[in-house]
Amino acid sequence: MPPADQAGLRRANLALVVRTLREHGQQSRAQLSALSGLSKATVSNLVSELESRRLVRAAGLTAGRQGRPGQLVELSPGSVCGIGLEINLEYLRATVLDLAGTVITEQLVPLRVVELGPQRCLDQLAELARSMLATVAAVGAWPAGITVAVPGLVDTQAGVVRFAPNLRWRQIALVDGLAARVDFPLERCAVDNDANLAALAEHTSGAASGTADLLCIVGSSGVGAGLLAAGVPVRGASGFAGEVGHLSLDPLGPSCPCGNRGCWERQIDLGTLLEVMSSPDDPVRDPSLAVSDRLRIIRGRAEAGDRRTLDALQQVGDALGVGLALLINVLNPAAVVLGGYFAELYEWLVEHARIQIASRVLSPEAARAAILPSTLGFTAAIRGGAQHAMRTVMDNPTLAPVVASEPTEAPA
């Protein structure tokens, strides 16, 4: 076998051991051998290398079995971290997760992204990334990567934001710009659509954890969708699938920054809810309010039974259901996770949406798709970003630096 193929096989086997430990928790080398189908000698050798890269660690002895007790190994949670960043219309957000999915830190920076423009926004994003990298260093971990969530069409291969209508961005080389500013390796820096990353987080650790056919709809200053079919993200031929917010549902409706009219998101995004439920001078529309404060006011009014607020929530809930019915007819998901602000106001939206879905979806089985509130809320995209960043190393553990003694060079 040529050396290049041997190296590739070894990388694949290292990834297989990591994946097996992720799925099954701590195991002895003999158990890992049985679960992975690799020989015991190979497993021992691979585990040694993973230990030297601090990806796995010793975890006590097997108990309650006959014969000599075996040494257990497990993923070493605090040694590797992923960094997730998010660019939104009104803020930048960041998180650091470790291998076990524990949140090490989270940060929100209010920012008028459109007014700032892409290059100055990237300066701010780089500052936030440096602060996250400092946190990773402070806990003694290694940063696997940085993945940025953006509301728009993203060329993930090139690391370029092709078009983000709400940000007014076109052709922004985000990965190049960020990696250069932070002096971080280009190959461990990535950008993806925010709803795709939110769907990854919901699938990995959220409301629909493990659901293979999943639709995730995120409501914010726009509306995005991430879709998994049979556990695999659906990206389409050019990687731009999921732009459901710009389904033109009303050709005579209001104009949208994308250039179209009557887009679904102009019926259901947070700005629309605010316009319907309040007058321009209403304090709930104060531009200096954080999204969380705005939502607290809306919830308060809904709980108090304020008629105008409840009517606005019904209007948005109905429009949400009309669009969801269309998507359920096309995609037949097992579950729909409502993320972003839809999760915060779920109880006032979901019944209106369900009525529309029940009357518009053709198959009664498809119409029974679970409509769930996100448990990750506005943090889903950054969580997905951090998980995506760690996945690069999960798929190729040789990216993690060797910090202990060199591994022995036995064939895989």
Find the part of the chain contacting Zn ion (CB under 5 A) among 90-98, 250-258, 279-287, 312-320. 250-258
CB of 172 to Zn ion, least distance (A): 19
- 246 is an interface residue for Zn ion by CB under 5 A: yes
- Closest distance to Zn ion from the beta carbon of 258 (Å): 3
Pick the piece of the chain touching Zn ion (CB under 5 A) from 151-159, 210-218, 239-247, 321-329. Answer: 239-247
Site string for Zn ion, 291-330 (x = CB under 5 A): ----------------------------------------
- Using the minimum distance from each CB to Zn ion, give the nearer residue, 163 or 346: 163
Cβ 267 to Zn ion, closest distance in Å? 11
Stretch that binds Zn ion, among 82-90, 141-149, 243-251, 403-411 (CB under 5 A): 243-251
Adjacent-strand bridge partners of 72? 28
Extract the tokens encoding 187.
């190959």
- By the 10 Å C-beta count (0-12 exposed, 13-18 middle, 19+ buried), 222 is classed as buried
Nearest distance from C-beta of residue 272 to Zn ion, angstroms: 12
Using the rule CB under 5 A, is 53 a contact of Zn ion?
A: no
User: Cβ of residue 322: shortest distance to Zn ion, in angstroms?
Assistant: 16
Residue range at the interface with Zn ion (CB under 5 A); choices 133-141, 244-252, 268-276, 376-384: 244-252
Size of the site for Zn ion (CB under 5 A): 5
295, two tokens: 């939502």
Q: Measured between alpha carbons, how far is 273 from 4 in angstroms, rounded to an integer?
A: 57
Q: Which is closer to Zn ion, CB of 256 or CB of 338?
A: 256
Least distance between Zn ion and beta carbon 16 (Å): 43
The answer to whether the CB of 146 falls within 8 A of the CB of 136 is no
Instruction: Note whether 249 binds Zn ion by CB under 5 A.
Output: no
The CB-of-257 to Zn ion minimum distance in angstroms stands at: 7
246 or 352: whose CB is closer to Zn ion? 246
Q: How many whole angstroms separate alpha carbon 274 and alpha carbon 251?
A: 22
Mask: binding to Zn ion, 251-290, rule CB under 5 A, as x and -?
A: -----x-x-x--x---------------------------
Closer to Zn ion by CB, 256 or 335: give it.
256
* Least distance between Zn ion and beta carbon 214 (Å): 24
Residues found near Zn ion in the complex (CB under 5 A) = 246, 256, 258, 260, 263
